[in-house]
Structure 1
Amino acid sequence: MAANSDEILHDLPPMIRQYKDGQIERLMGTETVPPSVDPETGVQSKDVVIAPEINLSARLYLPKFVIPGSKLPLLVYFHGGGFVVQSAFSPLYQKHLNCLVAEANVAVVSVDYRLAPEHPLPIAYEDSWLGFKWAVSQSSGEEWIKEYADLNRVFLGGDSAGGNIAHNIAVRFGVEKLDGVNLIGTFLNCPFFWGKQGIANEETHELMSKDYVDRLWHYICPGETEGCDDPRVNPGKDKKLSGLGCKKLLVYVAEKDILRSRGLFYKELLRKSGWDGEIEVVDVEGENHCYSVECPTGEKGKEMIKRVASFLNQ
């Protein structure tokens, strides 16, 4: 007998719910907005198709005043959403990146990787690597990149799941390299790192349970024997960590975020691995997960964007 549509197989509010009949209900992050010239910042954006055969695309951003022939730092960005919701075209990320581009005066490629569970990991990582290679390819033919992007000043960035992706792309870049590309630094905003054994207050966190994060990882990455100690989500288990492919890292964590302790621990893991770069971890009091994405025009959101802008223009 076929399962009734109201029988729930996986329930991960406030993000996603899957029913036993296969129906998937995304509870947030489904709204999209078109590219634009932002009336507040003057930042211009447009959409490009990277690989039509897998429906991989991106949104590109340029600041209001760009001089033909001038070269800007290039930030390749990956959105958050637990690998299951949001997109590069959501109003949340449109506003966030408009604010960042206006403050930092950089070019941005925001990669719209495919989401789980329809596309379980490692698909998001493979899509993001393909998007990164496309963004830094001098032969891509994309006008904005050819005209304005400086491949000697390339950065990776992302929040939450996107921060996890940015970290993993930096690790892969350290292994594979790409000719003619200088990856200077990586910015991680409340990155999604985890592990089987709880640390700090993860077991007793007031706003989210460790069980929820455990279930989310198993949902997006089914069948992996390492579970939450998969090196892609637990950098302490990654034998390639010392080869992280950039020399500068800026990491933001938030006091009320269950992922805070992992972000703080990331610095220690890198030091133990032998990675010899510079890392700054900023611990923001009184804020929750990815507060600056939710409210980039708030006082603390503006402070973070200014600090990231400085990082991207070093």
Structure 2
Amino acid sequence: MPSLPWRVRVQLAALKLVHRRDGSIRRLLFSLGDLKAAINATHTCNHTLLSLTVRSGDITIDASSGLWARVFSPYSSADADAPPVPVVVYFHGGGFVLLSAASRPYDAFCRRICRELRAVVVSVNYRLAPDHRFPAAYDDGVATLHYLDTNALPADMVTVPIDLSSCFLAGDSAGGNIAHHVAQRWASMSAARLRVAGAVLIQPFFGGEERTDAEVELDRVTALSVAVTDHYWREFLPEGATRDHPAARVCGDVVELADAFPPAMVVVGGLDLLKDWKARYAEALRGKGKPLVVVEYPDAFHGFHAFPELADAGKLVEEMKLFVQEHSSKRGV
């Protein structure tokens, strides 16, 4: 591990305490540490020519299932004359079983994306396993896209015009897995006003029954371990399923990709024990001729993006900005 700021070392040590040796979760301990950010919080970033404020609020997507999302919208005095901005639909990580759109690290990260990409960010609070196993998280992702396709976001929450032909799916870890599967589902559906223009997969959570070299070499280097990832899969996949289930093993020739599957940006950390699975996923996309950019950070561990103290976290946001700018359409909705 490279030298890390003391705040990062303390938080990584705390994350290790959340899991038992067998990978199971100390739920009470986790709940005490999972602090939530309040809605309607604002953050102003002063630039040379512009003072940009990010506003946040929660919306209900499906009351029957309890599905909701936190929306982050850029706001400035120039909004009245601003061109439509892209939409980033974000899926948080946590192994399909932990965290929420309101958890402080994700509130802060989505706020940063909103500010620096100048995009409306919709952070999805999808249902968690084991109470809601596969395919609940994917269903919630598709339901969110249907909501955006058929409903306008509240005017008092989003003051900028949005471009639904420039909608990007993004997520980290389990959220990156969800982003892939939701992109595949949406690309397989009939035409809609909402167009998924790209997918940003930050250290996506993929796997299989075999153990890769990285899983053996990097086991327990940080808070993530093979035992932990195995536990997450057991909680999420259908009971009795193995890690070779199509939800987890997204690589090789057997992976199906729709013709309209969007361009993808895959982020890989050199100290992530799951990095070999990400490399295989990238190979699968290339093999099927899909537009792809792989961004690698040799010293990055799993979850590095959630620590703004790290230089690589800032570099990642810049790469996301370039990707969104390249693939955004010129059409407004």
Of residues 33, 47, 72 in structure 1, which corresponds to 2:37?
33
Residue 323 of structure 2 corresponds to residue 307 of structure 1: no
- In structure 2, the CA distance between the partners of 1:45 and 1:91, relative to structure 1 (3 Å rule), is same
Residue 77 of structure 2 corresponds to residue 62 of structure 1: no
Maintained 8 Å contact 1:63/1:101 = yes
Q: For 1:209 and 1:33, locate their aligned partners in 2 and report how far apart those are by CA, in whole Å.
A: 28
- Give the 3-state SS of the residue equivalent to 2:278 in structure 1: helix
Q: Tell me by how many angstroms 1:17 deviates.
A: 3.0
Which residue is 2:264 aligned to? 249
Count residues in correspondence.
294
Residue 206 of structure 2 corresponds to residue 203 of structure 1: no
- Give the 3-state SS of the residue equivalent to 2:192 in structure 1: coil
- In structure 2, the CA distance between the partners of 1:211 and 1:141, relative to structure 1 (3 Å rule), is closer
Q: For 2:236 and 2:163, locate their aligned partners in 1 and report how far apart those are by CA, in whole Å.
A: 35
Q: Tell me by how many angstroms 1:212 deviates.
A: 3.4
* CA deviation string 1:277-298 (max 9, x = no partner): 21111121112102012x1353
- Of stretches 113-122 and 80-89 in structure 1, the one that deviates more from structure 2 is 113-122
Q: Tell me by how many angstroms 1:127 deviates.
A: 1.4
- Give the 3-state SS of the residue equivalent to 2:134 in structure 1: coil
Q: For 2:230 and 2:252, locate their aligned partners in 1 and report how far apart those are by CA, in whole Å.
A: 16
Q: What is the letter of the counterpart of residue 313 of structure 2?
A: G
Which residue is 1:53 aligned to? 64
Q: Tell me by how many angstroms 1:89 deviates.
A: 0.7
* CA deviation string 1:31-60 (max 9, x = no partner): 211123433432111111111111111000
Q: Tell me by how many angstroms 1:236 deviates.
A: 2.3
Structure 2: gaps spanning 5 or more residues: 1-17, 46-52, 327-333
Q: Tell me by how many angstroms 1:141 deviates.
A: 5.7
Of residues 41, 45, 55 in structure 2, which corresponds to 1:44?
55
Which residue is 1:264 aligned to? 279
When the two structures are superposed, what TM-score results if normalisation uses the length of structure 2? 0.80
Which residue is 2:6 aligned to? none
- In structure 2, the CA distance between the partners of 1:39 and 1:146, relative to structure 1 (3 Å rule), is closer
- Give the 3-state SS of the residue equivalent to 1:242 in structure 2: coil
Q: Tell me by how many angstroms 1:244 deviates.
A: 6.3
Q: Tell me by how many angstroms 1:146 deviates.
A: 9.1
| TM-align CA RMSD | 2.5
Structure 1: gaps spanning 5 or more residues: 1-10, 19-23
Q: What is the letter of the counterpart of residue 267 of structure 1?
A: A
* CA deviation string 1:92-121 (max 9, x = no partner): 111111111111101111110011122222
Maintained 8 Å contact 2:69/2:122 = yes
